[in-house]
Amino acid sequence: MGACAAVLVDAWFFQSYRSWAFDRQTHGEPASIRRFLVQSASLSEPDDDAEFIGNLAAAGTRPPSFSFHPPTESSVVGRIEIPRVGVNTMVLEGVSHQTLSLAVGHIPGTALPGKLGNIGLAGHRDTFFRSLAGIHLDDVIVLTTLNESYRYRVKSTEVVSPRETSVLRDLGLPVLTLVTCYPFHYLGPAPRRFIVHAVQEM
């Protein structure tokens, strides 16, 4: 239970900090963990959480029991938002266990935002992509990088075998594919994959 809580705290801190830093960087403003902690403390109500954040800011570091380490800037791809179902999370390059425990991962070898091709993003069904269970056709997906925002419209969904890699094939069109495990409430390693196909709006 303690290990699970630590993972969730790490993910929460990572998402909070990276989202804050991402917003500052898109406006050409400096970002650091210390600045984030100080600002968080100043904006919070005076409670135990604010005192804890303030203590972290004063120390200039996080407790050693936390495994969070800020990624290099080059590993941050951007942020994905699906307003209707409440998805709002940072996207990192790669799909390692560590990456997917902190964020949605950009699948290596697929297109990057702003490039022609199929952008593949993967996320866990029990964390960042949990609400994909309620995705609808025509839902809007916004993928934002430091340079620009791109809007996509959901065109279809499907359930496939984990070996069905054709969902990521590049057809030379500006499309976005979201991948997560399925069924959503399955206990243990899920046997299928839930796929969301979306097309960029020009």
64 belongs to a structural domain: no
Residues 6 and 49 in one domain: yes
**pLDDT one-digit tens code per residue, 134-153:** 999 999 999 999 899 999 99
The more confident residue out of 59 and 161 is: 161
**pLDDT one-digit tens code per residue, 175-190:** 999 999 999 998 888 9
| Calpha distance 128→35 (Å, rounded) | 26
**pLDDT one-digit tens code per residue, 86-119:** 999 999 999 988 899 999 999 998 999 999 999 9
Residues 79 and 178 in one domain: yes
The domain total for the chain is: 2
173 belongs to a structural domain: yes
Does the pTM surpass 0.85? The reply is: no
Residues 26 and 113 in one domain: no
68 belongs to a structural domain: no
Residues 15 and 101 in one domain: no
Exposed / middle / buried, residue 29 (Cβ in 10 Å: 0-12, 13-18, 19+): exposed
Residues 195 and 123 in one domain: yes
Tell me the sheet residues that pair with 159: 194
Report the pLDDT value the prediction gives residue 19, as an integer from 0 to 100.
58
Number of Cβ within a 10 Å radius of residue 108 = 9
Domain boundary among 32, 59, 86: 59
Opening angle at CA 52, ends 48 and 54, nearest 5: 115
Residues 139 and 93 in one domain: yes
Residues 77 and 47 in one domain: no
66 belongs to a structural domain: no
Report the pLDDT value the prediction gives residue 75, as an integer from 0 to 100.
82
CATH number of the CATH domain containing 131 = 2.40.260.10
Helix (H) or strand (E) run with residue 141 in it: strand 140-144
Residues 94 and 14 in one domain: no
Q: Can you spell out the DSSP letters for 145-165?
A: -SS-EEEEEEEEEEEE-TT-G
> Which residues span the domain enclosing 37?
2-59
**pLDDT one-digit tens code per residue, 35-90:** 544 455 444 444 433 333 334 344 443 433 334 444 443 489 999 999 999 999 99
